[in-house]
Structure 1
Amino acid sequence: MTTACLFDDLAAPADIPIDPGAVLLPGFALADAPALLAAIDAVAAAAPFRHMVTPGGFPMSVGTTSCGLLGWITDRRGYRYSGADPDTNRPWPAMPPLLQRLAFDAAARAGFAGFTPDACLINRYAPGAKMALHQDKDERDFTQPIVSVSLGLPATFLWGGDARGDKARRIPLQHGDVFAWGGPARLRFHGIAPLKDGEHPATGACRINLTFRKAG
């Protein structure tokens, strides 16, 4: 695959199969990271990060925003997608072309050609923030994969099984890594362990995660 934004294939770290339908692409987004972070800043200027409330009434430890035709939201009414930012009732910012292309290329590299996401959830993790084991199941079409991009501080990805109680593997994620899953792995439980303290030259004391989905 020849794409200007990616590593030359000869120099790129090897892809790491995790399970059937799940693959870690180390450093896949590294060359694009500065432009990705600038695009995220532009999205957040229009739709700022906020700590949404779960259906149980608890604020999430991660700050969230979205771009694309649909954005993922949570409140006392439940988890769902919405075409409008609930804070402003305006459409979410358009998904920057760079983000769309990265998701398309990463999905193809992982074996899911033709992925065209309509939603990008952007999570900002401060030290101590975490994401409990969960399934991505608010989307309509489970034949479409999930593409997750890590930027900034390193994190430990929790890769579980088909049931919440299955033991989760701990997979280190570094700045620029991409994790993609679909097919038989599409509904696997996954999460993020509490983020450790640190400073990253690209993001400071935080981790940024982009999760691309075909939601509608």
Structure 2
Amino acid sequence: MDSRICDMLGIEFPLVAFTHCRDVVVEVSKAGGFGVLGAASMSPEQLEVELSWIDEHIDGMPYGVDLIVPNKFVGKGETPSPEELLAMLPPEHRKFADGILAANGIEPGAPDQAFLRQRISLSKNLALEGAKAHMDVAFSHPIKLIANALGVPPREMLARGRADGVAVAALVGAKSHAINQVQAGVDILVVAGGEAGGHCGGVST
């Protein structure tokens, strides 16, 4: 199929599939599309395991990796504990979430604190230092694309992409987002509304 993105990524069809499942990455890419592994919730060690498995099963077809490296967020430059992050949740948010559960016949209550602490501890992956560890792993594999799913990619991601011939993608939900991404040197814009995980704020599809 004649499409610029097919030429850029070396694929047959202009179909890009984001997933947290390595099997889906492999099957989409082997079918002529382009699988992208969402890695933000993984440790660098787990990402290495997943990408090594993909390399062994994808028959040389192209694939990519998606990270989340925000430019600004509360606590940037700090390393708050999971408990401190949990304490930042407004009571209104907890009340709203409990209301959704109750409306659907699910007993509201205290979440599993151990699970929450484990998930929140992964927030270190969103800071530049944690993201650099992910980038080191990703760029050690034959990826054809690396994406930043929240804001303009950090300079290091853009520079390493250019140096390695890896396309850099980023999400946009408004004209101003697109302008900022293009000016930064992003290769591929992923246009998405707030319904797709809130990556671009409250802008609707």
Q: TM-score range by the shorter chain?
A: under 0.3
- Max radius of gyration: which structure? 2
Considering Cα pairs closer than 8 Å and 6+ residues apart, tell me whether 1 or 2 has the greater RCO.
Answer: 1
Greater percentage in helix:
2
Q: What's the TM-score once normalised by structure 2's chain length?
A: 0.28
Q: What's the TM-score once normalised by structure 1's chain length?
A: 0.27
